Amino acid sequence: MYTQEVTIKNEVGLHARPATYFIQKANEFKSGIWVEKDERRVNAKSLLGVLSLGIVKGCTITLIADGSDEKEAVAALAGLIENNFGE
């Protein structure tokens, strides 16, 4: 299991289009991937799950992955967040 904390910096947080990019990226990996905020954990490959966390600018979330490509998965998702989802 591999984890990393990241802070959301883009203006709209993890809603609509950024969340879609996030889920598409998560689905590229074989590992189980979760997002945790305020002790709630959801599947990072589920749009409704991710949106239900209400992640806004300034939130710190934990990315958790478990599987054969866990480090690559967390690095890719953290990179997407750091680059403001390409916006």
Q: Could you state, in chain order, the average pLDDT of each consecutive group of 10 residues for the chain (87 residues)?
A: 95 90 97 97 97 95 98 97 86
Residue closest to 65 by CA, chosen among 56, 75, 51? 75
- The pLDDT of residue 34: 98
CATH number of the domain where residue 9 is located: 3.30.1340.10
- The pLDDT of residue 16: 86
Half-sphere CA count of 50, side-chain side, radius 13 A: 23
- The pLDDT of residue 12: 87
Tell me whether residue 13 is one of the annotated catalytic residues: no
| Domain boundaries, position 58 | 2-86
Residue of 15, 36, 42, 72 with catalytic role: 15
Number of domains in the chain: 1
Q: What is the value of pTM for the model shown?
A: 0.95
Q: What share of the chain is helix, strand, coil (3-state, %, to 5)?
A: 40, 25, 35
